[in-house]
Amino acid sequence: MMMVTKSLQLVVLLVSCLTIITIECANATQNPNIYSVNPTIVHSAVSKGAVCLDGSPPAYYFEPGFGDGAENWIVHLSGGAWCMNVTDCQRRSEGSNGSSKKMGQLNFQGIHSKNDSQNPDFYNWNKVVVAYCDGGSFIGDSEYIDPSNNSSKNLQFRGQKIFYAVLEELLEKGLKNAKNALLAGGSAGGYPAILYCDYFRDSLPINSRVKCLVDSGYFVHFKNPVLERFWSWRYGGVAALQGAAKTLPKSCTSKMKAELCLYAENIQEYTKTPFFLYMSAFDNIETQYTLGDEKYTTIDEGLGSACLNASLREMRSDFLNAIPKGNDPKHRGVFIDAMHHHTSLMTRWSFEVALEINNVLAPIAFADWYFDRKYRYLIDEIHTMPIKNTFKQVTYVH
């Protein structure tokens, strides 16, 4: 009997040791720069009317913080363009940008990296990426009912309710006790990072440091109608489908059409909470949507005609005139580069691939501004034409 007991104890001890070794080996080999996160489906949101285009519940991706970052939070609103008409939105509802049924794992990297040497200010924060499945920058609260009574073609435009429902769950998850918090958004998610910045601030303790970050989502209203024509069509469709006249701030819609209120320049003055804009003066989505897909390589290679180059200079001028002025960098910081690229939070945040202006790397400029170390307002004034989009692939040793 004693022999059996000792043998059993030996087996238990061996299994425990193997388990510990396995866990330690897994942690040791995990790449902290990029790792996969599963979606969290917010089933409770459905009863609140917060659903994706196809009526499925919204979702977010969450990686818990640790160490002295356990009470700090990044909430990152995803981007992914817009749908402008019913057919476009029905097509979108069949994929991950319109249905949580189609969502899989998401690779966290960049500002979500857990590498303290490449992302020293945010590596151990709670990290959230809110899935984008409403097609309208989280602004809508309307629906489309198919006239032929084919329910599979019905559409729900509930981005505003998605934002509120996900935020409510995150607050209960610990965000309500945050010491430091950041609402960020990239591309189509950049506009709502301004739109909801004050609401986000007001949802958190008064003594918390709360700021917002717009990553390549400050698309401007060009003065030249030839440059503006595709944006007017795009935003006109989004505003109509999403019911923007009802959901966007009356401080803006009482003065202009709802589609004009989709330009960040027309709402940013009403935002009291500090925000930081990181974007290229030659954002390649801005140039693509404005000048046409076929011009991408020509612009990237610097082979534009005199007419094309004049348009690029005009676009840069309008952009720089539309962004917040530099007289109050504490409340409106910027990092405006000249590379022909789009978004940086996920791809260009590590020091080895980050862009710089005046010998200051973008992630350092932002962190200085966020933590009140130095209020940065940096614009590349040297390059008045696009710099080729070179992206250095980095092989990390871990």
In which residue are the tokens 């862009």 written? Answer: 355
Q: Which residues make Cβ contacts (< 8 Å) with residue 186, sequence separation at least 6? A: 76, 77, 78, 79, 215, 216, 217, 343, 345, 346
Catalytic-labelled residue, pool 54, 134, 283, 337: 283
Residue with token string 């390589």: 297
The verdict on whether 342 is a catalytic residue reads: yes
CA distance 85 to 98: 14
Q: Which is catalytic among the residues 76, 142, 342, 350? A: 342
Helices 306-322 and 284-291, axial angle in degrees (round to 10): 120
Active site (annotated) includes residue 198: no
Q: What is the maximum span of the chain, computed from C-alpha positions, in angstroms?
A: 93
Is 283 in the active site?
Answer: yes
Catalytic residue among 100, 187, 203, 216: 187
Q: What is the DSSP string of 49-108?
A: T---TTS---EEEEE---GGGTTEEEEEE-------SHHHHHHHTTSTTT-GGG---EEE
Give the list of residues 6+ apart from residue 243 with CB closer than 8 angstroms, or none. 140, 141, 142, 157
Q: Outline where DSSP puts E strands in 158-222.
A: 180-186, 209-215
Residues marked as catalytic: 187, 283, 342
